[in-house]
Structure 1
Amino acid sequence: MKFKLLILGLFLSISTYAQEYFPKNDGVKTRNTNYTVFKNARIHVDPKTVIENGMFAIKEGKITAVGKSLNIPKNSIVVDLKGKEVYPSFIDLYTHFGIDKPKRPEGGNGPQYDAGREGYYWNDHIRPETDAVSQFTFDSKEAEKYYKAGFGVVNTHVPDGIIRGNGMLVALTPEVSQGDRILEERSAQYLSFDKSALSRQSYPTSIMGTTALLRQVYLDADWYAKGNAKNKDLALEALNRNKNLTQIFVTDNLLNEFRADKVGDEFGIQYVIVGSGKEYQRLDKVKASNATFIVPIKFPEAFDVEDPFLTRKLSLEEMREWNQAPANLSMLEKAHVPFTITSNSVDLEKDFRSNLSKAIEFGLSKEAALAALTTTPAKTIGQTGKIGVIKEGAWANFIITSGDYFDKETTIFENWIQGKKKVLNSMDVTDINGDYELTVNGTTYDLSISGEQTKPKAEVKLKETKIGSKLSFDNNWMNLLLSSPDTTKTEYIRLVANVPVSTETINGKAILSNGKETSFKASKIAASDKKEEDKKDSKKKEDSVHQVIPVTYPNVAYGFKTRPKQENILFKNATVWTSEEAGVLTNTDVLIKNGKIAEIGKDLKAGGAKVVDATGKHLTAGIVDEHSHIAASDINEAGHNSSAEVTMEDVVDPTDINIYRNLAGGVTTIQLLHGSANPIGGRSAILKLKWGVPADEMIFQGAAPFIKFALGENVKQSNWSGNRFPQTRMGVEQVFTDYFSQAKEYELQKKKGGDTFRKDLEMETLVEILNGKRFVSSHSYIQSEINMLMKVAEEFGFNINTFTHILEGYKVADKMKEHGVGASTFSDWWAYKYEVNDAIPYNASIMHNVGITVAINSDDSEMSRRLNQEAAKSVKYGGMSEEDAWKMVTINPAKLLHIDHLVGSIKPGKQADLVLWNEHPLSVYAIPEQTIIEGVTYFDKARDEKLREEITKERNELITQMLKEKNNGLKTQPVKIKEKQRVHCDLLEEVK
């Protein structure tokens, strides 16, 4: 055996030797072991360290020495870089360079519910086994774009799937073998919220489904790592193998950045987050994530706002994004958030450097910009000291420039990668940029030459008159064509000169318009003579940078400039609707302290509280909407017939303007429900409508956990094409029976415990229902199905908490009362689809009279703004008292949600969620003047009126800025009319 290993070792060593030294079919390859020494350069060792007139040496692809002065070894190649600057070549951590983006296979009909691969995880979109190296081919054409922008190293990966597998770190070294370019074969693991193009598997169809899937994958990977699985799973093995790599999570919007970070925190993973460029909108939360962000340098173009009618359709949010986005990197720098810059999503040749310059004009320091392109990505990918610096032992990756890289007119001459030179522009070209006094045939002109060293541009003036000119400069020969100052004549003067290395004076031949030859002289003007002109140029540059509008929270219309604070408030002489046994109290005071209701009575003392004269006004508890779909990025996870593992808390959208509109309608609490795409839907999020706070701070603390069930047309897919089980109403019943049977078996296995127990998030939720620890709110219409679900629940030993919609509740009210279920219904919706043909407006009052706790809900972002009016309809339809009608939008929904001990009525000790109305709250003329949550005023009518004026002013300011951009010849984009989709139970959205 030892002899065989020895022979194998000799064979491998000979093979290695042959690969490196033996002749190949493209000729003999030799290794240059001499030093190359660069001298007299301005060397940017790292973002904070610059050596003036410095030197550095390279050998065999590495930097061997850097300093002010070096001993030059014999046989060294010496390159004089006098007047030039050297920077470390840049690093891009988010690319798919050399790897084709997978495309969805042709063919296939309908959705796929099971995995299409054997031996891998049950979901095809989890692909941690994907290996970038196996799909990589060096793309010379694409590499040219990276060279020209200054990049030397990229991290590339296969951009496909939720868990995408490992990326690879590649040096863009020209003219070497593919293997020599690879710095790390397994550099990072990539993740995203996007599904794989290589599979048609339906689940997940939502961000909340993706998030739940990621949680389950991590749990399963840990379980698998302990040796509990009976069968081999190549995906979970790969995931465990990759867990110590840098974890890069790709997102496309700010909310998803926070969602990714939340998952990471739950499992002790610190993701590096590929951001959206909108981090400035919530810097406090961005910083709190402790993540390093990979930020695109793409900025939106100004809108073409010349058409005032189209411009009215342009949202303030879109206008602000154009205005604020260029300052994003500057704001990240000031907030001390670590970030790198990616060229992804921009044209490397056309936009990268110009956008980088724009970011600097908007406040990003050049030091931070350089760090984001060099040392920060190197640190992030575990390559500190190896790339991104010009230091001893680092790879010889550097660019040679004519000056400051961040100056738009600077030329990149060469990009060296692993000691291999890539010539982009000749360094032998003389820099002729500058301002000259040009004398031709006794006439003196002002000549200004600017632009890239290899492509200079000329501007010529005779006194104040601009003279037409055309400049060409090639191989140090300058040709300048001047038009005649007399615009009535088509005459030209041709100037030609061979420009010396020193460009203080250019002498050459002039051929006049009459054909005579003479000489010309161009003398460079001293810097001191240009101070005033420089000041003018500087002022012009400042004018090109528009005023950045301050960020609000949220960063949309009606957002707060600063977070509102909790106050102690005394309401005097109000008509108080207590929603308690005390009923309606006239001329009564209510004192709130520290976010709670402290006292109710007459002639209360303020005790330092703010006093509000509520004479002639009505004070109520905040409205509670039991069934809402506002403030959500997703509504349905429709990939399976049970999605108990998902939670609406993962997809709360705190920027939804409907939050503010609901506050303006007196709503303070909502149950954000999953949709009705499947019989067992997702878990609810009970929210306080705290406008301007992050999503996690909107979650109602201490609220009971809920889940959405659904019956009827939607779950059996009557109104859209679908082949998922169930297809019939009897199939819906079977779904419940099957899943709860599984849950009981799961609970038995869990009680047995042991290391082999596999935690299942879906089953965990169903067990909570069986044990009365999670409550069910069920979408319902037809009496037969209402009866069916109550019987199924009773069979498995639990109760349905609430039937929502319940438009045939009046038919089975006695059975509902016996079961102990509440009702959350519409006031007067009927006949909008087949299964509501029997709905009547007396439904709410009939159920109430039987003794059922009844609430009026919205299920609609428009209706939720006027639930007070919806409640009032039951006074007309059924003769309910005003107080009982009002309870249907305050204390009753609070009871259904098991939060009535905290909100829903005005009682000492409860949370101060209150609304001050200008008149009777059931009136169609009633308008909330203040809406307060826990002592914080989130809506104030007076503030609202002032904001309307400020918004008009801000829009006009932004329109003026955009018109200026267009008038200056900059690109604009057309206004696209975007109508926000109104969300109901049956909305289906597909994850990419």
Structure 2
Amino acid sequence: MRYFLLLFFMLAQVCDAAAQETYPVNGSYDKRPGLYAFINATIVVNADQTISNGILLVKNQKIEAVGQGLSIPKGYIQVDLKGKYIYPSFIDAFTSYGINSASRQSAGFGRTQVFTSTKPGAYAWNEAIRPEIAVKSIFAIDAKKAEDYKKAGFGAVQSINRDGIARGSSVVSTLNNTDESTVILKDQAAAHYSFNKGSSSNSYPSSLMGSISLLRQTYLDATWYKNQKDEYNISLDEFNKTQSLTQIFEVNDVLSVLRADKIGDEFGKQFVFKSDGKEYQRLKEAKATGGSFIIPLTFPKAFDIEDPADARNISFTQLKDWELAPTNPSALEKAGIKFAITSFGLESSAKDFWANLRTAIDHGLSESQALKSLTVIPAEILGVSEQLGTLSKGKLANFIITSDNIFKKDNIIYENWVQGSRFNIAKMDISDLRGTYTVNLDGNPLEIKIGGTTSSYDLNVERKGADSIKVKGNINRTGDLLSMNFNLKKNHEGTIRLNAYISSTSPLSFQGDAILADGTSKKWSASFKEAYKEQAKKESPKPIISTGPIVYPLMAFGYTEAPKAELVLFKNATVWTNEKEGKLSNTDVLIEGGKIKSIGKNLSAGSAKVIDATGKHITPGIIDEHSHIAGSGGINEGAQSVSSEVRIGDIITSEDINIYRQLAGGVTTSQILHGSANAIGGQSQLIKLRWGKSPEELKFEGSDGFIKFALGENVKQSNFQIPGGNLRFPQSRMGVEQVFIDAFTRAKEYKAARAVKGNNVRPDLELDALVEILDNKRFITCHSYVQSEINMLMHVADSMGFKINTFTHILEGYKVADGMQKRGIAASTFSDWWAYKNEVAEAIPYNGKLMHQVGVLTGFNSDDAEMARRLNQEAAKAITYGAMNEEDALKLVTLNPAKMLHIDNRVGSVKVGKDADLVLWSDNPLSIYARAEKTFVDGISYWDIDQDAQKLKALKAEQGRIIQKMIDAKSGGATTVRPVMQRQSLYECETLENLDLSAQNQ
């Protein structure tokens, strides 16, 4: 037996690959056919087909045949796998195997600014665009990493260069240890993308929206490039060549799946998404993308939060994610979403992968789906189904030999065969040692019984005769070598230790040395008496793991079910119409289908839900003309002085608690603006605060497009400390003026050139937005403070033929109100901010009233997540400073901003036919004592002060339940981590952050 195993081992180590005809041989030429017959195995051909007592024939790296009762040709080495299983080796569809990681660096605020590529050659202007990188040219076998993957059951991987936004092409290779020329199965498997600029030294992009715009522009450039002959660009040329490949997009959260999908829809691409494994948070939207997914099993560890002080550092989102993340694979399966599973992101490919995979199965993932997601599906995604994924004739001999069902906890992976080459993981026990044996040991009449399982034996020893005794012992097996020990406790004999080897397999017998309790050494042997009788075990039902509900969004105060529009009748309220009717006392308002249906006295209720509003006030929802909530990945794309191509709409997030908090302050609509880092910033996004809805559903449908301009200190980077001398233009207020003139001059020339019939002018997203301004299709909101600059931009607009819609901040607006009134420019200002920086040294609290008095359309805004929760009180300050009447004061945060944003046909006043965006106040809305009791958006109650109290109570109970579950998990031996508070980024105009994406998921 030992000699057979030794011979088998030696033969298996020989590379069975076909000879490399292009490589010379230094020594004797040795080409072996690699003929193996694996017999008597349970062969899992694929998730839907299993062959009992099957035979697998392997020849020259490939599967020759698989089935029952096959004739085994002469010359095949037979391997008896009775009681063992054979599975297809797994495929990891997302790895960096065989690639040296690029050195990571980042550029942006606080670093030397780099505006164009420093890479020599005819490449893209931005180093984050690198489709010319082909992994096949940098790939090298990594035997150590290959060993880790093979121990986990993987036989092939996709290798990706995870560097940049357009990352180039990948390869699919096996994990064989021969050489690169024989392991690469597909030299161009897929084209890869991300929102991560990676090791690029360029300052741009410095935000998520910048990354999105750069990729969109690259698609446009590549299309243009195909139809021109004046320029040669290696990057664009290679970008076009990779478009026929599978397109894989790596993202860091489920909302970025939706962002990437939107790009795909725009340019006719269906991406495969490598995600963070949290699709369960927005499952409906993830499915609607129509894409396949590659998901990791990076489930969060439990927090060590027995100390209540530590528990306060953990957000509700973190608690829910710890509990629900393991359900993600099951949720995808139930939703019918095609997905592959990757080991990417785990600390240990073997240990953590199997632990987390079994956790996913415990949480509802079927074993069948798990196998498909590790074999067939990744093979399909990567286009290697003809070579990998199942155990079928003609496919590569990539398979694993296991002791049992591969998903069982005590299963052992013995061997992983890759391209017909054997990789040993655990010593495979060919024989089953279980049974009863008669022992010959120094005249002691002993009998031993070996039971348990073939992967975990147990030992019972019985001494016969007058002083009979039965004891349990320990047994370990390593191949053909055994060690046992037991203690015959009667008469204090002490522990007997036995070593032995299997001397015969038919019948089984052992012999070796025994060390008695007194230290003397004896020879011993054991001969087979009778076979082990395995008792039928009743399968215990899998424990049902209960989890709490998913809420939308996954944070405090989220909904399990979204609220719906109702037929609601408010009775006897004081209604602030903002129309010619003014304030109406003891008036009813009926809303239906999301609209205001009627206003009057003694309205009929019918089937409506009646709300007694006696002594209460109804106003239009508050509209914040200048906000920075609900954005992610940075609010400033500050690397260039003109960034009109970027869009806040690309980075809207629904997972912002400030949406809910501001509903509690009566806000129903907000304009989300780009920051003030650039003279010409990014495009704005108008949203309704539809708490719980997806990012696209937040957007105010049909509204006009706006864009942020800026003047002053931020634009010329007065307060930046940037090392090196490579500073961004402009550095003076004169330079700011020149930026506007230059940009609109270019836009006019671009517009004229694009208007020429048959032109092939390169589409430019930056200039497209400026042309929209010239064509009165996009409207300017300009960050401003100082009189001189406000006058400057008005004159530039006059000379260049565009219109300014709104000056925001404009704390010196009272000085230029006449000029603004003549041009029809609106003002969105602060109520009483002053003296917080040099530019506002001459601000006065009467600014709003004075501009209004001159005839300037004036509103008050927040520019601050906290201030937006009390804009009603900010409006009231116009009464304190300037004695504005109450109705006009309320219009500062309702009708006037609606007019500025061109949405007063739908919101801003209480009028029949308008959207039912209403607030029910407990008191006069301009009083500091007034509370918003109910806030309706589109006739849906997204804020209710009574329901909020119930939600808070339920929230505390849910937190307590999960915390107790975490404590129980720790008590049960689960690995825990210390709590780390996650702080939300709160953006304002001047928020300048370098979004260093290069550190993510490395």
Q: TM-score, with normalisation over the residues of structure 1?
A: 0.92
Asked whether 1:124 is paired with 2:127, we answer yes
1:684-715 per-position Cα deviation (integer Å, ceiling 9, x unaligned): 00001111111011110111110000011111
1:728-765 per-position Cα deviation (integer Å, ceiling 9, x unaligned): 11111110010000001011101113241221111110
Q: 1:29 to 1:350 in 2, by over 3 A?
A: same
Asked whether 1:136 is paired with 2:139, we answer yes
Q: For 1:102, what is the secondary structure of its paired residue?
A: coil
1:893 to 877, 892, 897: 897
Superposition CA RMSD, Å = 3.0
Q: 1:580 to 1:505 in 2, by over 3 A?
A: farther
Q: 1:678 to 1:235 in 2, by over 3 A?
A: same
Aligned-residue offset at 1:480: 3.1
* Separation in 2, partners of 1:894, 1:577: 15
2:987 to 954, 961, 983: 983
Asked whether 1:625 is paired with 2:624, we answer yes
* Separation in 1, partners of 2:139, 2:857: 64
Aligned counterpart, 1:254 = 254
Aligned counterpart, 2:378 = 377
Asked whether 1:907 is paired with 2:911, we answer yes
Q: For residues 647-662 of structure 1, what are the structure 2 equivalents within 5 Å?
A: 647-662=647-662
C-alpha contact (below 8 Å) 1:23/1:29 kept by paired residues: no
2:114 to 109, 112, 119: 112
C-alpha contact (below 8 Å) 1:299/1:355 kept by paired residues: yes
Aligned counterpart, 2:93 = 93
1:637-681 per-position Cα deviation (integer Å, ceiling 9, x unaligned): 112111101110000010101011011111100000000010100
Aligned counterpart, 2:606 = 607
2:921 to 899, 905, 917: 917
Asked whether 1:589 is paired with 2:588, we answer yes
Aligned-residue offset at 1:979: 2.6
Q: For residues 771-786 of structure 1, what are the structure 2 equivalents within 5 Å?
A: 771-786=775-790
Aligned-residue offset at 1:59: 1.7
Q: 1:741 to 1:107 in 2, by over 3 A?
A: closer
Aligned-residue offset at 1:943: 1.4
Q: Which has the higher contact order (CA 8 A, sep 6+)?
A: 2
Aligned-residue offset at 1:555: 1.1
C-alpha contact (below 8 Å) 2:579/2:909 kept by paired residues: yes
Q: 1:965 to 1:491 in 2, by over 3 A?
A: farther
C-alpha contact (below 8 Å) 2:399/2:417 kept by paired residues: yes
Q: For 1:902, what is the secondary structure of its paired residue?
A: coil
Aligned-residue offset at 1:621: 0.8
Q: 1:447 to 1:872 in 2, by over 3 A?
A: farther
* Separation in 1, partners of 2:106, 2:314: 38
C-alpha contact (below 8 Å) 1:430/1:476 kept by paired residues: no
* Separation in 2, partners of 1:65, 1:679: 69
Asked whether 1:955 is paired with 2:959, we answer yes
Aligned-residue offset at 1:987: 1.4
Aligned-residue offset at 1:76: 2.5
1:458-511 per-position Cα deviation (integer Å, ceiling 9, x unaligned): 69999xxx999765322333323347889x999534355556769999999976
Q: For 1:965, what is the secondary structure of its paired residue?
A: helix
Q: 1:563 to 1:987 in 2, by over 3 A?
A: same
Aligned counterpart, 1:245 = 245
1:507-540 per-position Cα deviation (integer Å, ceiling 9, x unaligned): 9997664569899999998554754xx64xx6xx
Aligned counterpart, 2:568 = 569
Q: 1:755 to 1:816 in 2, by over 3 A?
A: closer
* Separation in 1, partners of 2:370, 2:356: 12
Q: For 2:187, what is the secondary structure of its paired residue?
A: strand
Aligned-residue offset at 1:146: 1.1
1:152 to 142, 150, 155: 155
Aligned counterpart, 1:823 = 827
Q: Which amino acid aligns with 1:191?
A: Y
Q: For residues 377-526 of structure 1, what are the structure 2 equivalents within 5 Å?
A: 377-428=378-429, 430=431, 453=455, 456=456, 471-482=475-486, 492-496=495-499, 498=501, 513=517
Aligned counterpart, 2:465 = none
Q: Which moved more, 1:879-888 or 1:348-357?
A: 348-357
Q: Which amino acid aligns with 1:721?
A: Q
* Separation in 2, partners of 1:194, 1:673: 23
Asked whether 1:299 is paired with 2:303, we answer no
C-alpha contact (below 8 Å) 2:107/2:114 kept by paired residues: no
Q: 1:547 to 1:338 in 2, by over 3 A?
A: same
Q: 1:73 to 1:794 in 2, by over 3 A?
A: same
Q: Which amino acid aligns with 1:186?
A: Q
Q: 1:243 to 1:502 in 2, by over 3 A?
A: farther
1:196 to 190, 195, 198: 198
Aligned-residue offset at 1:961: 0.8
C-alpha contact (below 8 Å) 2:19/2:31 kept by paired residues: no
Segments of structure 1 that go 5 or more residues without pairing to the other structure are 1-16
Aligned counterpart, 2:6 = none
Aligned counterpart, 2:321 = 321
Aligned counterpart, 1:937 = 941
Aligned counterpart, 1:547 = 546
Segments of structure 2 that go 5 or more residues without pairing to the other structure are 1-17, 463-469, 998-1002
Q: Which amino acid aligns with 1:144?
A: E
C-alpha contact (below 8 Å) 1:125/1:162 kept by paired residues: yes
Aligned-residue offset at 1:828: 1.1
* Separation in 2, partners of 1:585, 1:604: 14
Aligned counterpart, 2:693 = 693
Aligned counterpart, 2:276 = 276
* Separation in 2, partners of 1:616, 1:218: 59
* Separation in 2, partners of 1:467, 1:880: 96
Q: Which amino acid aligns with 1:45?
A: V
* Separation in 1, partners of 2:223, 2:436: 68
Q: For 1:351, what is the secondary structure of its paired residue?
A: helix
Q: For 2:170, what is the secondary structure of its paired residue?
A: strand
Q: 1:445 to 1:809 in 2, by over 3 A?
A: farther
* Separation in 2, partners of 1:336, 1:38: 36
Q: 1:53 to 1:445 in 2, by over 3 A?
A: closer
* Separation in 2, partners of 1:444, 1:621: 90
C-alpha contact (below 8 Å) 1:208/1:647 kept by paired residues: yes
Q: 1:838 to 1:44 in 2, by over 3 A?
A: same
C-alpha contact (below 8 Å) 1:22/1:28 kept by paired residues: no
Aligned counterpart, 1:45 = 45
* Separation in 2, partners of 1:603, 1:437: 100
2:171 to 160, 168, 171: 168
* Separation in 2, partners of 1:339, 1:353: 18
Aligned-residue offset at 1:411: 1.5
Q: 1:694 to 1:27 in 2, by over 3 A?
A: farther
Q: 1:678 to 1:470 in 2, by over 3 A?
A: farther
Asked whether 1:858 is paired with 2:857, we answer no
* Separation in 1, partners of 2:389, 2:668: 52
Q: Which amino acid aligns with 1:797?
A: G
Q: 1:501 to 1:194 in 2, by over 3 A?
A: farther
* Separation in 1, partners of 2:662, 2:439: 70
Q: 1:821 to 1:503 in 2, by over 3 A?
A: farther
* Separation in 2, partners of 1:812, 1:403: 82
* Separation in 2, partners of 1:461, 1:664: 74
Aligned-residue offset at 1:439: 15
Aligned-residue offset at 1:562: 1.0
Aligned-residue offset at 1:220: 1.0
* Separation in 2, partners of 1:326, 1:377: 20
Aligned counterpart, 1:81 = 81
Aligned-residue offset at 1:427: 2.4
Aligned-residue offset at 1:173: 1.8
Q: Which amino acid aligns with 1:768?
A: E
C-alpha contact (below 8 Å) 1:505/1:522 kept by paired residues: no
* Separation in 1, partners of 2:788, 2:256: 41
Aligned-residue offset at 1:445: 11
Q: Which moved more, 1:78-87 or 1:369-378?
A: 78-87
* Separation in 2, partners of 1:745, 1:316: 53
1:145-188 per-position Cα deviation (integer Å, ceiling 9, x unaligned): 111111111110211110000101111123x2311111111111
Q: 1:507 to 1:657 in 2, by over 3 A?
A: farther
Aligned counterpart, 1:578 = 577
Q: Which amino acid aligns with 2:397?
A: A
C-alpha contact (below 8 Å) 1:504/1:523 kept by paired residues: no
1:905-929 per-position Cα deviation (integer Å, ceiling 9, x unaligned): 1000101111111121111121111
